[in-house]
Amino acid sequence: MRTRAVVCALLGAIVLAGCGSPSPDLFVVERTGAVPGARLTLIIDDGGFVRCNGGDRQQISSDQLIDAREIARALNGASEEEPGLVDKQLNLPPKSGSILRYNVRSEGGTVAFADNSAGQPQDFFRIAALTRVLAKGECGLQR
């Protein structure tokens, strides 16, 4: 009986210890550009939080987290048979007149593009849109 109580106490301590660990990052967006307020480092984690420019973690909505997870899958690939965007090592140069540039890091690697890069996959537009929404909303920035 006493052994059972000790085992239960140890299992409970292990479970509680795991609850305090931070969630892994889904991806990091570094945005730069030719307009004021363009510079941004955005870190989205799998626990539903975002950090902006090294600030405190801010909670994001469920829809934003779902979108971020889908973007992470597109970046990293759904499986070995279905490679992600980082596997293609996409580094799309900006065209003349570019305003914003994005460098996106995930567990699998890095991609880079500009707001007006030719040949952007749809997921790059999703990255730019989510970055803007989070920057203006949760981060409280102008753009």
Structural tokens at position 29: 């967006």
Q: Categorize the per-residue pLDDT at 19 as very low, low, confident or very high, splitting at 50, 70 and 90.
A: low
User: Is the four-CA dihedral 51, 52, 54, 57 of positive or negative sign?
Assistant: negative
Structural tokens at position 109: 């690697």
pLDDT tens-digit series, residues 67-90: 999 999 999 998 878 899 999 999
pLDDT tens-digit series, residues 33-72: 999 999 999 999 999 999 999 999 999 999 999 999 999 9
Q: pTM value?
A: 0.83
- Distance, CA of 137 to chain centre: 16
**Contact by Cβ (8 Å): 94, 117:** yes
Q: Which amino acid is at 15?
A: V
Structural tokens at position 100: 């914003």
Residue 10 reports pLDDT greater than 70: no
For 87-103, give the DSSP string: GGT-BPPPPTT--EEEE
- CA–CA gap between residue 23 and residue 8 (Å, rounded): 26
Q: Categorize the per-residue pLDDT at 29 as very low, low, confident or very high, splitting at 50, 70 and 90.
A: very high
Tally of CB atoms within 10 A around 140:
10
Residue 126 reports pLDDT greater than 90: yes
Closest-CA residue to 42 (of 73, 15, 68, 16): 68
